[in-house]
Amino acid sequence: MRFTVTVDTEEEWDWASGWPTGRPSVTNIDALPRFQDLCAKYGVRPTYFVDLAVLDDCRARQTILEVASGPGVELGMHIHPWNTPPIMDARSTNARDTFLHNLRDDLIAAKLTNVYQRFSEIGMRPTSFRGGRYSSGGQVTRFLQRHAFWADASVLPLTTWPDDGAPDYRQRGLLPKRLPSHEQGGPPLWEIPLTLAFNRWPLGFWRRCYELVENSWLGKLHLIGIAERLRLIRRIWMNFESPLGEHMLDFLPVARRLALRHICFTVHSSSLMAGKGPYTRTAGDEQRIFGLIERVFAKLAASAEFVPVTTTELAQQLEGEYHACARN
């Protein structure tokens, strides 16, 4: 069972304050060497999805390049459309426009091109991608295929958001998906989902149950909280910062039963430093997250069943298996 570890490597800001379009702070990037030390200690092969704010800051850029200089490290491409030129409104951004796929095709292409060219200027060519707020599809997918990306890691299965224009992944499962090129003979693109699921099968049934309870008067009865405390059913996200990730080790036996070929662990760079994100307000929060990261990494390293790969490595391996099956 292969696993990826992904880091949304980006600026810090108050997530409850909207989406700032000005020059952001990226001091949280100073926490990445500590995280990378844990990756190296346990043989993890991380993918850092890096956005323009990080690449445009000299200190942050130098730090991420030093982190990426070691073996088994990938730098993928990330984008926050609200502060990536061209900026439509320098004052504010509405919720709908924070999802890249909602913008005009020319704006989507221009914003993606600006980030991609910044990678090129520092001698890097990214081959994996994650959209800000998990936005992708349509024109985004076509851009990735034109530029020979191997993987799009934007899908968050079994979910959607109440925000206007949010992606709807409620019908999307945990398995990677091969997207053939729109152009004759062009490269395919592999969708590599994050891992958000339930500890019981079938996943779609439990997703509908949660949705029914959360969106009706039944939510007032706190049935989900009661069921989770009794361990009757539990929603789990392999996210080191989210409360849904506190029981991620409980999901590993479920992954075996489901015969999953891949698990994706994730975290935001801003959650690796106290005071830089909503999940890490104190030094105690920071220690708690790093403690969970080390426990999970140690568990994975102790079993030969789990094999670390970067996001692009996974897509390339899946493509090889696809062609091997086709030959047979």
Global pTM value: 0.94
pLDDT in tens, the chain (328 residues): 999 999 999 999 999 888 999 889 999 999 999 999 999 999 999 999 999 999 999 999 999 999 999 999 999 999 999 999 999 776 678 999 999 999 999 999 999 999 999 999 999 999 999 999 999 999 999 999 999 999 999 999 989 998 999 999 999 989 999 999 877 777 799 999 999 987 766 766 657 666 765 666 555 555 555 556 546 667 789 999 998 898 899 889 888 888 888 999 999 999 999 999 999 999 999 999 999 999 999 999 999 999 999 999 999 999 999 989 888 7
Q: Which long-range contacts (CB under 8 A, 24 or more apart) does 186-189 make?
A: 186/145, 186/146, 187/145, 187/148, 187/150, 188/145, 188/319, 189/141, 189/144, 189/145, 189/149, 189/150, 189/151, 189/152
Q: CATH fold of 2-197+261-327, please?
A: TIM Barrel (3.20.20)
Domain ranges of the chain: 2-197+261-327
